């Protein structure tokens, strides 16, 4: 009886240790798991007092939690588990009064400095094109269509 209890406990202990060992094996790739709304400091820095709900959606996206009982509170929740690391959690609550931001509460705070967002767009000068013929003229030129029907006789000066 003691041998069976000992063997069962040894077997269960070895199975439990396998999961711990398998989670920390070197050279084993584990994927990053993102859950919720991705929140970063650059997004929070763009929030300003008196922004409308529509502007907040443009900056932050739709909220993860929009409570029916608290329509003036939006919650953004984000969790990331990078391979082999602990879970990192971020949560932001945005409070509205008459559809404008009243306050922000959470793990990240907006900066007091104005946000200067540099543009990554580039201007390209395109030279003008010389279009001598339209697309229809080019296509009808392939079949030698000049706009005159061949089947109809041309009026002559004698028949008038």
Listed by start position, the domains of the chain span 31-111
Q: Is the pLDDT of residue 159 over 60?
A: no
The Cα-based distances of 110 to 53, 58, 66, 114 in angstroms read 17, 16, 21, 10
45 vs 39: CA distance, rounded Å: 11
Per-residue pLDDT tens digits for 88-142: 899 999 999 999 999 999 988 887 777 677 778 888 888 877 667 788 877 887 8
- Residue-level pLDDT at 70: 85
Q: Is the pLDDT of residue 160 over 60?
A: no
> Which numeric CATH code is attached to 31-111?
3.30.1450
Q: How confident is the model at residue 69 (pLDDT cuts 50, 70, 90)?
A: confident
Q: Whole-model pTM?
A: 0.56
Q: Is the pLDDT of residue 55 over 90?
A: yes
């Amino acid at each position: 009886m003691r041998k069976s209890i000992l063997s069962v406990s040894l077997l269960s202990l070895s199975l439990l240790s396998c999961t711990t060992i398998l989670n920390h094996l070197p050279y084993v790739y584990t994927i990053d798991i993102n859950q919720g709304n991705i929140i970063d400091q650059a997004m929070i820095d763009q929030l300003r007092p008196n922004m409308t709900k529509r502007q907040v959606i443009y900056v932050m996206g739709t909220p993860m939690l929009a409570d029916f009982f608290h329509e003036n509170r939006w919650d953004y929740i984000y969790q990331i588990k990078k391979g082999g690391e602990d879970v990192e959690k971020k949560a932001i609550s945005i409070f509205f009064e008459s559809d404008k931001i009243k306050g922000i509460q959470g793990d990240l705070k907006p900066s007091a400095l104005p946000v200067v967002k540099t543009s990554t767009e580039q201007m390209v000068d395109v030279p003008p094109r010389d279009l001598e013929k339209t697309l229809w003229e080019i296509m009808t030129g392939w079949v030698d269509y000049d706009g005159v029907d061949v089947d109809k006789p041309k009026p002559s000066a004698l028949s008038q």
